[in-house]
Amino acid sequence: MSSEQTNTESGHGSADADRLAGDEPAHENARQDVIAVDAEDEATGTVNRLEAHTGDGVRHRAFTCMVFDGAGRILLAQRAPEKRLWDTHWDGTVASHPVEGQSQKEATRQRLEEELGVRPDQYSDLQVTDKFEYKRYYPNEGVEWEVCAVLKVTLEDTTLSPDDAEIGGRLWVDYEHLHENPKLYRQLRLCPWFEIAMRRDVA
């Protein structure tokens, strides 16, 4: 596992810190926990999800899954406008966090179904292909500090039923062209973890 250089752009989530302190109703993420980890992805306990993404953050376990079709296209999914971090940015394709006792594959299967309506019988090749650590600030809202596993899957049936609360736009893109020419797609505002995963993908 390698570590991506920390982005020192300022943007600490003071508003959410106030909510944690009880000044406002808690964000939905405040009712969830994620798995805190060390630099080697060894679990060190659990941490409140909002706390992990506020201020300077807490390193935690995460995943991103690239979803392909049989023609080698990747599905780019736009994060819904209501997302607190990287709202309306384009992901390739879903990203989230396993809960305690859940494997990366189990968490990915769950999120594929919850976010895109993709059932396990639509694919058979879900694999973990990479893992990296990164830290990025999102101005005025919070931070992602994650040890992120990368998974890939090819859909045999590309039927989708996305949850509007999670997914905005959808776009199938030639992955080879995107991988070789990322600057041509910058107008889409790609999520940083997806950009890192794609840059590291040399297959």
Surface-to-core class of residue 24, CB atoms within 10 Å of its CB (0-12 exposed, 13-18 middle, 19+ buried): exposed
Kindly tell me the number of DSSP H helices and DSSP E strands found in the chain: 5, 10
- How far is Cα 189 from Cα 177, in angstroms, rounded to an integer? 17
Retrieve residue 118's tokens.
């993709």
- Residues involved in catalysis: 146
Rg (CA), the chain: 16
Beta bridge partners of 8: none
Indicate the DSSP class of residue 190.
B
Compute the C-alpha angle 87/60/124, nearest 5°: 75
Question: Which tokens belong to 57?
Answer: 């953050």
For the residues of 147-161, what is the DSSP string, one character each? Answer: EEEEEEEE-SS----
